[in-house]
Amino acid sequence: MGERAMNYLALRSSAITKISIEVLSRLVEQSGFNRAHAEGRVFVFETNFAPMYARKGPGSTYDLECELDLQRYLSGLREDEFRLVRVTEAGEKVDHRGEWTDHPFNTLATVASIQADFDAVMNSAAGEAAHPACKADVRVNSGALTLALNVLRRAGKHEVADALDATAQRENGTEKELIEEINRLVQQARSVVKEPFSIQIDSDVDVEIRPAEEGHRVNVGRNGWGFTTVNYSNEGLVLDVFAEEDIDPTHTACFHESDLCIQFEKWVTP
């Protein structure tokens, strides 16, 4: 019996310029889904490695040749130029290459679901989870979605597949897209304003954001209770707590960088 698996390959723009026409053509041919972004492109595809007894005659090693060409291409890239994640159909085995883990394609339903299955297996293997866990923003399992999309597209039902994929992406991406847009607007505001501005969390609590040129200081206020200043510097963190209408802090706490950072030595076992 062969080994069927779902894969996603995220490539930075710099990596795409190094890919051969042959490898690119095979990726496009294999992929049931691929999406471009300003930072690169992602391919979602299925692999199915045939068992040895089925390898008879010309062309019987085509799957291995494709895999070898892909892995050879990846070996010529920097680790931060790509991320390849693979999850078997049964969800029992996973594998990965590359260190571009913060790529922009994590918000896509097809990519996020494969990543969620990968994380579940890794967490289970590490003893952190007894059952496969699904991320909060992922509602569609890769086995149900990606394989279904591949089947539909191979059957020529592209419109149905596109509609299914779009629905899944809307369900999974709406909240994340909203959060990303809020973050983008806050960063944009910090880059242009000259005075601090407040974001109202609710009727009692607000967060005062300062211009980017003023560093990483944030004030968190509570109606009638004063406010707390959170000030990160290159040396550490300073917390100042001010009571309502007081100009001097009622409490100050300082933390050096060495108290806040994870120390490598803590993770080294004798």
More confident residue, 69 or 181: 69
Over 60: is that where the pLDDT of 1 sits?
no
Over residues 60-68, the mean pLDDT reads 82
Q: What is the Cα gyration radius of the chain?
A: 24
Name 17's Cβ contacts closer than 8 Å, sequence gap at least 6. none
Residue 232: what are its φ and ψ, rounded to 5°? -95, 130
Give ∠ CA 182-185-191 in degrees, rounded to 5.
145
Instruction: Give CA separation, 101 vs 76, 105, 249, in Å.
Output: 18, 10, 41
Give the pLDDT band of residue 193 (cuts 50, 70, 90): confident
Residues 6 or more apart whose CB falls under 8 angstroms from that of 14 comprise: 81
Per-residue pLDDT at 36 exceeds 80: yes
User: What is the average pLDDT score of the chain?
Assistant: 79
What pLDDT score was predicted for residue 270?
A: 43
Q: What is the pLDDT of residue 71?
A: 92
Residue 236 pLDDT = 85
Report pLDDT for 209.
Answer: 83
Pairing state of beta strands 82-88 and 3-12?
A: antiparallel
> At 247, phi and psi to the nearest 5?
-100, -15
Q: Where are the beta strands (DSSP E) in 140-201?
A: 197-200
Q: How far is CA 109 from the centre of its chain?
A: 11
Tell me what pLDDT residue 213 has.
81
Q: What is the pLDDT of residues 117-154, one digit of tens each?
A: 888 888 776 554 333 444 434 444 444 556 556 655 66
Query: Residue 78's pLDDT band (boundaries 50, 70, 90)?
Result: very high
